[in-house]
Chain A
Amino acid sequence: MALLKSYLTPDFLIERNKDRCIQCRVCVQQCANEVHYYDDEDGEVYSDEMKCVNCQRCVTLCPTRALVIRSSPNELRKNANWTPEVIRSIYIQAETGGVLLTGMGNDRPYPVYWDHMLLNASQVTNPSIDPLREPMECKTFLGRKPASLVFENGRLKEKIPPQLELDIPVMFSAMSFGSISLNAIKSLARAARQEGTYFNTGEGGLHKELYPYGENCIVQVASGRFGVHSEYLEAGSAVEIKIGQGAKPGIGGHLPGEKVGKEISETRMIPEGTDALSPAPHHDIYSIEDLRQLIFSLKEATGYQKPVGVKIAAVHNVAAIASGIARAGADYIAIDGYRGGTGAAPLRIRDNVGIPVEFALAAVDTRLRNEGIRNEVSLVVAGSIRSSSDVVKAVALGADAVYIASAALLALGCHMCQKCYTGKCNWGIATQDPHLTKRLNPDLGAQRAANLLRGWKHEIQEMLGGMGINALESLRGNRLMLRGIGLTEKELEILGIKAAGE
């Protein structure tokens, strides 16, 4: 068969300032994609732009700031329909015959509804509260709440069901050992402990070195059941059944065999070098009643001492699905929106399946309230929570807490090059290559992730105080604190908020 010629051109242009470059070869050593190379004969460093993913590692570490990477100025003929991305996709598929893969979240220019909601602040009639002078409480609980409390002799007659106690309504979302490095998980685990919140194992099991962080850990049970055993279930503070993920609703996962080294093999309980394939469905869950059985199996297995949550992707009928999950006995429901990140997903699925988490959250919260069961279950939202204001808006719409993943990885150094699936993450995050994983120091990573949470907490407290609120629970579902801007009547109706000026 004749070799196919590639019609692809470089995405990025690498400009090396000859006056600044000192041929130190840091860029050569740093680039796992082998973009930079040193020519012994010339005694000079050159670059192969075709391989560049624009992760900015070389740019950041170049001691003389000699490198600039920018989008390639080469332009195809202008066409609003056949955009360069569409054309490039076709070239790639014509060359490979494969499914287009991508990493991180949906980057299409769909509306970001968080940015179409504005927050309230008090003026005169209701004083704002100064968080520098008054207590400002961000604690929240995740778990099933009883219909009422019963007291006997002034003491609680029965303990309430197990709850996760969060000092800040932000947790680190599910990212498996496999999709990210052990050092990345260690960073998140330590930051979670430091700031009184939780990290999530994802579907990759819990590495033995992370067991000491079990008190701050949510262990996931996904369709592949990787690394699930009784000790694992006992180790975490909550168990989460993963049904779906915002980046790829309706499909399973795939960790290629080349990433399954000794450590991952032991943690996931699969042979070294084998592909870790998560089926699209759980093969013991084909209905809501099957889900109920798994929820209660896990509760039995953990002696009813830990909340059991269910994570689903935000899809069209999410409100009815969530209602079913609440009635199936879940203690919390995590809803992951279509902007959610991923280590690897088929591009077309990532960009075209699911709905914005803002709508999903509003619809679910409204539905559960209409059915009178909202207090029975906690709601966690995920899928591109980018800032503290997104968190505040999510809580006002009805969330108990949020999950962050992309933001957490950015805190660790991710530069959003969207090539996680290659396993060549130059920042040592989405990789298992020992040479690369060493680049992320878990102590420094923990510090960065904890700093992010602390910064957000301060901002959340400022916003709460501005609204005249000093406890997070008074913001939960308090949609009067939101106003829509640039939204249609229907969108406002679904979000259950008034338009700005009303």
Chain B
Amino acid sequence: MLREGAVRIPSGCSISGIMNKKGKLTSGQDIIRSIAVMHDRSNGLGGGFAAYGIYPEFKDDFAFHFFFDSKEAKEAAEVQLNKYFTVVYDEPVPVREMKAIKDAPVIWRYFVQPKAKMMMQAGLPEDEYVVKFVMKTNSELEGAYIFSSGKNMGAFKGVGYPEDIGEFYRLDEYRAWLWTAHGRFPTNTPGWWGGAHPFTLLECSVVHNGEISSYDANRRFLEMYGYRCTLLTDTEVMAYIFDFLTRKQGLSLEVVVMAMASPFWQEIDRMEPGRKETVKAVRAVYGSLLVNGPFSILVGTSQGMIALNDRIKLRPCVAATKGDFLYVASEEAGIREVCPKPDKIWAPRGGEPIIGLLENAASQYGPAQGSEKIAINS
């Protein structure tokens, strides 16, 4: 049987996200409880978490989380790593031995700084330099895989039920202001650690409940811009779409959402002329990045969390607020488990984004100035 990455594996899933918009740190216990409630939405073949704000002592370094299949792969990767980066600190990612979690690869984290000279030689800005290295490692270095590459954040994922994965990675010992989680139900996979969610690139992490029918249209468009979809999963492509539209194209979240889950033409036809022209242009230019098929996703960034459903809401997604906290989950139970009495709880409509930003971050990711406001519910 082909390993994931050589073959595309569609899957269903559960997602959950907890964020404090004031940046207050909380332990991973709640997110584990939240995703555990939705146990039946996974099948034990994948679980994972992303956590933001967890490495304050290394907040200016890129935190690379690696999976290695072997000692040789680790050595080969470290040669490359040392060539392009200065390793500030490295250690094995601490894990708890558990019966439920088997066949774990070697999991290591490196806090690194790009080598200025190499970066200059490559003629790339810092973020692009890191992205290129991640893409190259994941597609060319056999047995080594970078599954997390952002600053002051990290992804923790593997084969198993999410609550077991959370325990395995000792997430109760971390403190983050944003937690996202994923329970995976792949339809046909031998189970591969790299195939679990979240998928990340720099600070952007994506967990996804759904299956993308526009996958190949999205993938083939992104490949023109240097992205390499080595893992052949729907979620990887979503992470790259988000990265492309925000980082490379410099678009506001409003436009990103407009591209990924565009309004329907019947709605566009009713818009006032100026806005209509804008939305039309977005669909004409970024039509290949429209995401089709059932999905609800949670995107984590250094600025906050964005939840998005497909246009006709073929996957569940519930959101709630309580004080400074924003919760999003596939099921209401996932929220009520950790927040029994929210201030507000609602099911966002298809294509309607839930945007939760850190209070001091709105300037970067907020809706473009002067534009019609989109729903910001944090």
Binding site for B on A (CB under 8 A): 122, 125-127, 129, 134-135, 137, 139, 141, 143, 145-146, 148-149, 151, 153-156, 159-160, 163, 369, 372-375, 467-471, 473-481
Which 5 residue pairs of A and B lie closest in terms of their CB atoms, listed nearest first? A154-B371, A473-B287, A474-B214, A474-B292, A480-B216
* Residues 133 to 177 of chain B near chain A (Cβ within 8 Å): none
Which residue in chain A gives the minimum CB-CB distance to B212?
A126
The CA-CA distance from A435 to B283 in the complex, in Å, is 48
List, in ascending order, chain A residues with CB within 8 A of B255's CB: 149, 151
- Determine how close the nearest CB of chain A comes to the CB of B297; give it in whole angstroms: 15
Q: 13 new A-B pairs (CB below 8 Å) besides A127-B294, A469-B213?
A: A135-B312, A146-B285, A153-B369, A154-B367, A154-B369, A375-B288, A470-B311, A470-B312, A474-B214, A475-B214, A477-B216, A478-B213, A479-B220
List, in ascending order, chain B residues with CB within 8 A of A163's CB: 284
List, in ascending order, chain A residues with CB within 8 A of B262's CB: 471
The CA-CA distance from A392 to B196 in the complex, in Å, is 33
The verdict on A135 contacting B283 (CB below 8 Å), with A125-B10, A155-B274, A467-B213 known, is no
- Determine how close the nearest CB of chain A comes to the CB of B234; give it in whole angstroms: 10
**CB <8 Å contact, B370 and A155:** yes
Residues 306-317 of B, flagged 1 when their CB comes within 8 A of A and 0 if not, give 000001101000
Residues 239-282 of B, flagged 1 when their CB comes within 8 A of A and 0 if not, give 00000000001111011000000101110000000100110011
**CB <8 Å contact, A469 and B281:** no
Binding site for A on B (CB under 8 A): 8, 10-12, 187, 210-211, 213-218, 220-221, 223-225, 249-252, 254-255, 262, 264-266, 274, 277-278, 281-288, 290-294, 311-312, 314, 367-372
The CA-CA distance from A473 to B282 in the complex, in Å, is 12
**CB <8 Å contact, A469 and B288:** no
Which residue in chain B gives the minimum CB-CB distance to A366?
B220
**CB <8 Å contact, B285 and A149:** yes
**CB <8 Å contact, A127 and B216:** no
Which residue in chain B gives the minimum CB-CB distance to A129?
B312
Q: Which of A127, A135, A146, A471 contacts B314 (CB 8 A)?
A: A127
- Determine how close the nearest CB of chain A comes to the CB of B251; give it in whole angstroms: 7
List, in ascending order, chain B residues with CB within 8 A of A476's CB: 217, 287-288
Q: Which of B11, B216, B249, B266 contacts A125 (CB 8 A)?
A: B11
The verdict on A477 contacting B220 (CB below 8 Å), with A145-B285, A375-B288 known, is yes
The CA-CA distance from A190 to B292 in the complex, in Å, is 33
Q: Which of A126, A143, A151, A477 contacts B221 (CB 8 A)?
A: A477
Q: Which of B12, B214, B224, B281 contacts A375 (CB 8 A)?
A: B224
The CA-CA distance from A160 to B252 in the complex, in Å, is 18
Q: Which of B12, B210, B217, B249 contacts A474 (CB 8 A)?
A: B217
The CA-CA distance from A476 to B288 in the complex, in Å, is 7
List, in ascending order, chain B residues with CB within 8 A of A481's CB: 213, 216
- Determine how close the nearest CB of chain A comes to the CB of B364; give it in whole angstroms: 14
